Structure 1
Amino acid sequence: MSERLFTLLLAIFGGVYLWLGIKIEAPIAYDPLGPRIFPVVLGSFLVILCLSISIFYPMTQFQIGSRVKRLALTILFYLVTFKFLGFMLATTISVYMVARLVSSSWMEGLLTGLIVSIFFYGIFHFLLGVPLPLGTVFRIGG
């Protein structure tokens, strides 16, 4: 994959993020800047930086390693299974897979996944009051 293709994909992602950020409408004007300022600034910076990199810097070919591919697949797995498996199970499996990528044993990976998922569930559920999905796979039988 060439660097130009990668910067083009990032610029397209930034443009879509910018476009979606511009479409945000707040029902109540509680802030002078509003909720749209962060995605608009972030998308603009991403597009501007990608275009400046592709114009002003020479590009070379680079190869994506197998670890990076497996990490991308792990992130994709987490995104796809988050609502289906629920926060606890999807986070445990994903952290286990990342731990195995950095050469930890299966027991260290499993314990790390369990501890991380329980810790962040406690923070989000009890301290912040944010409801996390429990998983539709557990509601199938009853």
Structure 2
Amino acid sequence: MSDRLLGAVCVVASAAMAWAAQDYAAAISYEPVGPRAFPLLLAVGLGLSGLWLVLRPTAGAESFRGVPWKATALCAGAVLVYALLFQWLGFALATALMALPVGMAFGGSWKQSLAGGAALGLVLFLLFDKVLDVVLPTGPLSAVLGGS
């Protein structure tokens, strides 16, 4: 039952996010995507995940009771540190470092987690910077990545 409750909370939260994001607009159009695209994308993902939790069959379904609290706390702490260091370290480096404890919490080795995080940080930076034209902080890697 707690899974369905969590799913319902996610659906309500996603609706609130989508409603709040409708008013997001840049004073000057400097990005083709605009500031409302990312929150709307997150709202859609959160809403679909919540709907899946609410509507999935109960027979044989696993619950969140088996998730280790240590891994959950590690992931939450990594995301908090990520938010604090994002501007200073830049997107690619902060993402790579955040992926290390998160990957290890999901059972990866430190080498796999670091390699996956580095690839994730670089690929997402290039996607946002080159394809979507979204300006992201580069931090100490500005000479390598170019940009701000």
TM range (shorter): 0.5 to 0.7
Q: Does 1:99 align with 2:106?
A: no
Aligned residues with identical type, % of pairs: 24
1:84–1:137 Cα contact (<8 Å) kept: no
SS in 2 for 1:132: coil
Would you say 1:117 and 2:121 are equivalent positions? yes
Cα 1:63–1:25, aligned 2, differ >3 Å: closer, same or farther? Answer: same
Question: Aligned to 2:136, which of 132, 136, 140?
Answer: 132
Q: How many residues align?
A: 122
Look up the match of 1:81: 85
What's the RMSD between the two structures over aligned residues? 4.5
Q: TM-score normalized by structure 1? A: 0.53
Name the amino acid aligned to 2:87.
Answer: K
Partner of 2:72: 68
Deviation at 1:63, TM superposition (A): 8.1
Quick one: which amino acid aligns to residue 109 of structure 2? S
The alpha-carbon distance between structure 1 residues 102 and 110, as it changes in their structure 2 partners (threshold 3 A), is same
8 Å CA contact retained: 1:83, 1:136? no
Residue identity opposite 1:71 in structure 2: C
Tell me the distance in 2 between the aligned counterparts of 1:134 and 1:87. Answer: 6
Separation in 1 of the partners of 2:98 and 2:129? 20
C-alpha distance in 2, partners of 1:25/1:122? 24
| Aligned with residue 90 of structure 1, among 83, 89, 94 | 94
| Structure 1: segments with no counterpart, 5+ residues | 1-5, 28-34, 47-61
